[in-house]
Amino acid sequence: MRELTYKDALYEALDQVMVKDERVFLIGEDIGVYGGAFGVTGDLQQKYGKERVIDTPISEAGITGACVGAAITGMRPVGEIMFSDFVVLSMEQLVLQAARIRFMFGGKATVPMVLRLPGGSGTGASGQHSGSYESWFVHVPGLKVVMPSTPYDAKGLLLASIEDPNPVMFFEHKLLYKTKGPVPEEMYTIPLGKSNVVREGKDLTIVATSIMVSRAMEAADQLAAEGIDVEIIDPRTIRPLDMEPIVASIIKTGKVLIVHEAVKMGGFGGELAASIVESEAFGYLDAPVRRLAGLDMPIPYNRNLEYHAVPQIENIVEEARKIVQGKY
């Protein structure tokens, strides 16, 4: 199968769905003439015109509010927030409007919109452009939260998100844009709420999201040389969350490590840990549920400090080794 970058997989998904469905339009800052801050929208404005690829003023509240209104009236908007950190300026439109409308109108009104959110550290963009805010939206009934970790998942999950009748928060890690992987040419969807077992093993379960999936994979290769066999699960969507493969894996391994970039306090890993404890898997655990997450601080500008603020491959190896060797 041919390979595409994560960025190009997203572009292809948008291009193909815009041909198929005239209700789909794109809206955001610098997504048209400039082609997007990270190049995802490329030449789509040249292909489809300024009415379907709309450059906006610097107003995240305006972008999100336009998406909500358009979605209610039958369109399928895909908004881009240039950096996911700026989604804080859209909270009223998202939390009080988009997430609640379907409930408040008894299902007679839907809000089929996607908000693309480039985020994460590693690019030297400092504290206001490098955050991970997915857990905020997991807490809001009515929103779906998607975190693709590969080019294949990026395309399939974006197409599924555009088809979904609910508002979807689509988090894209900035460091993943240049990564490559196999991607089919045809349109395909990956169901939201379907976890993926990306590596099978018997000694330890690692549940990782976004860029931490590839880091966990590299850590697993190192651990395999030590005789430690790691199973890795990527939830792909953290709301809705598919617990079945996670529970089945923990029943097999008896140990689990949760890895995400967002800070540990109030992070998604805490909800996942509680779900594991409340599940059938609890009786099979022979070690505490462990979390490896970002430090409780904004992302620093200094490159060395930035590196140490979030989990790296060596941190995953160390934590996994301690769990398997019973050193907690």
Helix (H, G, I), strand (E, B) or coil at 179: coil
**Catalytic-role residue among 129, 134, 231, 260:** 129
Cβ distance 193 to 242 under 8 Å? yes
To the query of whether residue 60 is one of the catalytic residues in this protein, the response is: yes
Q: Which of 19-39 are b and which e, b meaning 16 or more Cβ less than 10 Å from the residue's Cβ?
A: eeeebbbbbbbebbeebbbbe
Kind and range of the H or E run holding 323:
helix 313-324
State how far the Cα of 204 lies from the Cα of 216, in Å rounded to an integer: 12
To the query of whether residue 308 is one of the catalytic residues in this protein, the response is: no
**Catalytic-role residue among 29, 60, 172, 261:** 60
Look at the chain and count its residues. Answer: 328
Query: Which whole-number Å values give the CA distances from 169 to 111, 112, 198, 247, in the listed order?
Result: 12, 11, 23, 25
State how far the Cα of 157 lies from the Cα of 41, in Å rounded to an integer: 17
Kind and range of the H or E run holding 324:
helix 313-324
From the number of C-beta atoms within 10 Å of its C-beta (0-12, 13-18, 19+), residue 278 rates as: exposed
Edge-first strand listing for the sheet containing 230-234? 196-199, 230-234, 204-208, 256-263, 290-294
Residues forming the active site? 60, 129
